[in-house]
A and B are shown apart, each in its own frame.
Chain A
């Protein structure tokens, strides 16, 4: 992986610092490690098991009786029953998980496997990934930290912060850095835990605020920030995944001191050089060197071999019955139109020819004879209509008289 130009991170000076003209600290390589939420959830889940305290029921619970079954023939169930007399307890069922005062099913034992081992490299990779996530303001905001007023990301503070002794001063420093909003959110979120935890010495819960990371051993900074709710302090040589990704969620808001920030390269190494503090540890390489899908797709190398875009949606043709639908027939058989027309014309011609032929064969009546015939027909019509009722519409219909 080529050494990309590493951005410079400017160091925030606190009130009372000497004004320096330092350009800034180059970004340590850890911050460019691949961000792997899957690795972090996996490791976080396992590592969270490691501070568990065993719980179990008493070994003797439910067995401190000398109960024996009464056997059959006594009209009672065969569960072992407490012997003796003179008390309610006599004759009651014992030992079974279904019995009152009996031992539970599968009594919990202390030799349950409480802790989980995680591979060293996996643990280190998870921490590196979590550190990389703390440098991305989008992820940190998504985790819920209030970083609107923070001037630069990652936030690095000059080493004078390590000398702070009083909490009041610590708060002032946070306000200067624009990080107080997050700390205040944590302070206001203190509340009583829902559930049985409140009566098991875990009464109060609160949100997580910023994580302060310092570089020199034994700094007074620890004591100064210790009392602020939600604010955690950590030495850069002993960073904890449970602090960097609380709840398995990436992107804790981290405030670095200058010496801590500079030490990161020593502690975690780079992509080529192994770390000096962690034997043989080299930062994990990402799966894709260029993960910008947009640039990849629109690059010339890809676009030059791509087929033209096809936006036409091929829908199925509506099926029309060609025996009924004229357009459908013509689509299939363009000759149909002419064929039909010719057939119709031929039929008309045929009918006409037949009529003429028959007419020509009929005996022609003379004019006189045809007049007489017509008169006779008219007389017949008058005979069949009843003149008394021709005024009424109803009857004229029956009579067949055309009025």
Chain B
């Protein structure tokens, strides 16, 4: 009786299935090990890059101060180069708009009030902004604005979906082919309007900001008239602090 029990007939398909499952398990294991190795290497790369950028920003600040001092010593003035990067926020709602300005705001991806986008400065964008001036507030963001916006309200466009930037993997998936693999890479690309600014900016979903704490002065007027619309150059940073 015991010998009969020992010779249990196992169907061939079951044996094959078992072998296949072992193969799959082995594959899965090797893949997991590989991935872990890659991610640990990645962290080192990301650390090095972040450090490099931090030094770069510091150097830039110091350089600016130095150049200004030099010029002052010589009795002249240092004129810093014109800004390359703009941050545009839509400050008016959606009703009663001329169709042409509506279209331009759509092209700028500002479809909702208090939506913000980064923008490269060139003839084309300046002219577009001129057309929609009464609907937007814009200016030149600094490092803190860019970094805080991307860290707190950064979402990426992956597969047409709005995915939060919780992990550098999200960024790598979206912009890996442009050698942008972490959030600091992204911040650097935006801030210094690098060669892949277009792709990096398009990857970022338009920022959904909150209504500014402390309020706006007067939406209807231009900034120079005591209102809020139009170019407010460096004072956009204060507005971003209140809206982020």
Contacts and interface: CB of A to CB of B under 8 A. Distances in A.
A339 B17 contact: no
B138 to A, nearest CB: 23
B166 A320 contact: yes
Nearest to A324: B152
A303 B23 CA distance: 14
B12 A331 contact: no
Given A303-B20, A308-B28, A319-B166, A335 B47 contact: yes
A334 B50 contact: yes
Contact of A334 (B20, B47, B165): B47
A319 B164 contact: yes
Contact of A335 (B16, B24, B54, B166): B54
Contacts of A332: 151, 165-168, 182-183
B51 interface: yes
Given A298-B13, A308-B28, A320-B166, A334 B152 contact: no
Nearest to B14: A298
A299 B14 CA distance: 9
Interface residues of A, number: 23
Contacts of B167: 317, 331-332
Interface string B1-29: 00000000000110011001100100010
B67 interface: no
A338 B50 CA distance: 11
Interface string A309-353: 000000001111111000011011111101100000000000000
B46 interface: yes
Contacts of B24: 308
Contacts of B152: 321-323
A367 interface: no
Nearest to B186: A332
B166 A329 contact: no
B43 interface: yes
B148 interface: yes
B228 interface: no
A255 to B, nearest CB: 40
Given A299-B13, A308-B21, A323-B148, 17 more contacts: A300-B13, A304-B16, A308-B28, A317-B167, A320-B166, A329-B151, A331-B167, A333-B46, A333-B50, A333-B184, A334-B46, A335-B50, A335-B51, A335-B54, A335-B184, A336-B50, A339-B54
Interface of B: 12-13, 16-17, 20-21, 24, 28, 43, 46-47, 50-51, 54, 148, 151-152, 164-168, 182-184
